[in-house]
Amino acid sequence: MTKQNEASRRLFLKQAAAISSMMVFPTILTKAMSGTYSPAVGLAGANERVNLACVGIGNQGGSDVFSLYNTGFCNVVAVCDTDMGAPQTQKVLEKFPDVPRFQDFRKMFDKMANQIDAVLVGVPDHSHFAIAMLAMSLGKAVYVEKPMGRTFNEVQLMMNAAKKYNVVTQMGNQGHSEANYFQFKAWTEAGIIKDVTAITAHMNSARRWHGWDPKITKFPAAEPIPATLDWDTWHSDVKMHDYNHDFINGQWRCWYDFGMGALGDWGAHIIDTAHQFLNLGLPYEVDPVKLEGHNAFFFPMSSTLSFKFPKRDNMPPVEIMWYDGVNNIPSVPEGFGTTELDPNIPPTSVGKVQPAKLNPGKEIYSKDLTFKGGSHGSTLSIIPAEKMKEMESKLPEVPVSPSNHYANFLKAVKGEEKTRSPFEIAGPLSQVFNLGVLAQQLNTKIVFDRETKQITNNKLANQMLVGAPPRKGWEQFYKL
């Protein structure tokens, strides 16, 4: 054991002893900190099913459980949810009645770590970090819903841990394994998409907070905590709040303390392929051009954000303009055509997209061509339509995806494929959103040094890259 590890171990044991007896500190976290954990068996082989633990089994997490299980490549060996037994968890519990159940992921790992190959993290944004970090430190593959983490620093630490522990990782932007991914890759490699200078990205459907009062001066009033809910563990490392129903079951996405708003929710489904294949990396400037209904608690009613990326090798600078809000619809280029619903784009969490509005998607402007595309797996088209028809013979053949996003992850755990949205790819994309949310929250332009990864024009914003200190008892997840 190195001196650094021994010092960390002593520090952890000292802090653990000082914590209230009501605070859970399972043996497995101590072992992870000290480096003494060793799995009893290796990860699943090519002819074996992956033993999967599912943390977060309601709402989107529940959907992920079934999507992973239905590939036929995994066994569900444990389920965990802080609101275990609540209505949104029932479908999973009925499907897997004999699988061990937990409300605290730390207790799950403490009891079952040697029986787990991979972990689904399908919980609110603010809780991704601790679960993923503990899982990776124990050598487990992780599938983490998007965006990866709530703060820039959390995402950086998750990327570092994935590399340190050499584990399979996948962020849950499912379209990254569908037609748009393979088309964008093929068109970029063939030189169809080149010399891009501007991208307009938009998500203009109603959001959960759009009916709220932006003149809010405090969090909503305390309500009785549901009997099924472990409210303390639900918070993870974030400071405690009084319970209110508008904090759970998707409502967490509304609040800066817990979620990432429309940008974090849909950006990973709209900007992902452009970010990867245009090698955008991190922006040098983020400017909140318009924030309607800005307040200190929840996201604006509408936002227009400018992200500026520098020249990369032989590629010109790019500006991404992000629009959200039902009345904040960007203009579209001449020859755009119709805006019918795209069957590849799933309904939003608060209802279907309105056909009369501009659907979630993007317009990509290059030196010679203009492209339009939707969200998730929706493919691009060249506009106007006459130009697309003219170029048909020059367009490369686009490969068919060999696996959906869930199968891709499990096959990667089995050593058969490589994940398409590993943390090394998804991390910088998520950090773009982290910076965008900081600009929204503070209502200020951010100037960012891509080399030092520091905000140079605003001391508070720079401090918020790391975020508030974790609450007592959760510090050690930042040292794994």
| Domain map (residue ranges) of the chain | 3-175, 176-400+422-464
Query: What would the two tokens of residue 9 be?
Result: 């171990």
| Predicted local distance difference test score (pLDDT) of residue 17 | 41
Q: Output the six-digit token pair for 220.
A: 């909503």
Say what the pLDDT of residue 13 is.
44
Residues 6+ apart with CB under 8 A from 454: 448, 462, 465
The verdict on domain 3-175 having CATH code 3.40.50.720 is yes
What is the pLDDT at residue 47? 67
Neighbours of 9 (CB within 10 A): 17
Encoded tokens for 200: 């307009």
Beta bridge partners of 361: 202
CA torsion 448→453→457→461, rounded to 10°? 100
Chain centroid to Cα 476, Å, comes to 22
Q: Give Cβ neighbours of residue 206 (< 8 Å, ≥ 6 apart).
A: 326, 348, 350, 351
Q: CA angle 318-324-330, nearest 5°? A: 65
Structure tokens at 470: 């974790």
Burial of residue 7 (CB within 10 Å: 0-12, 13-18, 19+) is: exposed
Alpha-carbon distance 7 to 334, whole Å?
63
Helix (H, G, I), strand (E, B) or coil at 190: coil
Q: Which of 273, 271, 246 is nearest to 259 (CA)?
A: 246
pTM: 0.91
| Rounded distance between C-alpha atoms, residue 474 and residue 480, angstroms | 11
The pLDDT value given to residue 113 = 96
Sheet holding 318-324, edge to edge: 381-383, 370-373, 361-366, 196-203, 318-324, 302-309, 285-292, 446-449, 454-455
Closest CA to 376 of 266, 269, 272, 268: 269
Q: How many CB atoms lie within 10 A of CB 216?
A: 14
Tell me which H or E stretch contains 460. Answer: helix 459-464
Pairwise CA distance, residues 299 & 305, whole Å: 13
What is the gyration radius of the CA atoms in the chain, in angstroms?
22
* Helical spans, DSSP H, in 71-151: 90-95, 105-112, 128-137
Residues of the chain below pLDDT 50 = 3-5, 7-24, 351-356
Tokens of 154: 């959390």
Q: 199: helix, coil or strand?
A: strand
Predicted local confidence at residue 14, as pLDDT: 43
- Phi and psi, residue 79, nearest 5°: -130, 145
* End-to-end CA, the chain: 15
No. of helices (H) and no. of strands (E), the chain = 15, 15
Q: What is the distance of C-alpha 186 from the center of its chain?
A: 25
Rounded CA separation 421/113 (Å): 25
d(CA 299, CA 212): 10
> Rounded to an integer, what distance in angstroms lies between the CA atom of residue 42 and that of residue 20?
36
Provide the token pair at 135. Answer: 């899982």
Separation of alpha carbons 112 and 109, rounded Å: 5
Longest alpha-carbon distance in the chain: 72
- Is the domain covering 176-400+422-464 a CATH 1.10.1060.10 domain? no
Domains 3-175 and 176-400+422-464 share a fold: no
Residue 50 near residue 76, CB atoms below 8 Å: no
Q: What are phi and psi of 242, to 5 degrees?
A: -65, 140
Instruction: Please list the alpha-helical segments (H only) found in 291-422.
Output: 385-391, 405-413
**Dihedral pair phi/psi, residue 211, rounded to 5°:** -95, 5
Structure confidence at residue 224 (pLDDT)? 98
